[in-house]
Chain A
């Protein structure tokens, strides 16, 4: 199974500042046939189900604000939230869909400083 490791476990960021969340996979999630990274990011607000933010490591889902961006390739990925807003308080998860079983990172809790 591919193990997904997120860091940090939590972070506190001031409103308007940048938050960066890291995700590392235990093996590459890039298929050489199409050079795509099989990596998604989800946001889970308190009391709600997760919501898709980013897929293919850097493609924003429709309707997701452009302050959210994804980067990285191979085994190392980053979700960046530029100019943090109050409504961004949530737990963020990365997930690989390179193979089954699909696996998630442990989550990163983002709070306001």
Chain B
């Protein structure tokens, strides 16, 4: 059974840092396109970042230069390092598995999410 469990969320001050973790089970993270998608309270979904099977990474313009996606193949985990946090980064952050087909990917499994609140 595929499971994704996020951890590391919490309250952080503006300009602070936080690292989210996502523990995967039922599949191998390094065999999939893994993403982070966020959802501000009461609002819609925003794709944040992806790490490809080969290790290439891509980011939304809103987080480029501040967030870093990575994975630890030995632990089967995905991470999101978030620096220089802003109030507008407040959201539930979902760890999401991508299903790769025809040169692209869509999201087939989602974690329960981790809430990040940026506030002084």
Closest chain-B Cβ to A10's Cβ sits at a distance in Å of 13
Give the shortest distance, in Å, between B74 (CB) and chain A (any CB).
26
* Contact (A49, B47) CB under 8 Å given A40-B107, A55-B106: no
Which of chain B's residues have a CB closer than 8 A to the CB of A98?
104
A36 interface neighbour in B60, B102, B108, B113, Cβ under 8 Å: B102
Contacts A100-B58, A104-B45, A104-B47 given; does A95 touch B106 at CB 8 Å = yes
Total A-B pairs in contact (CB under 8 Å)?
57
Asked if B61 CB lies within 8 Å of chain A CBs, one says yes
> Judging by beta carbons under 8 Å apart, are B113 and A40 in contact?
no
> B52 CB to closest chain A CB, in angstroms?
11
Contact surface of A with B, Cβ cutoff 8 Å:
31, 34, 36, 38, 40, 42, 48-52, 55, 61, 93, 95, 97-107
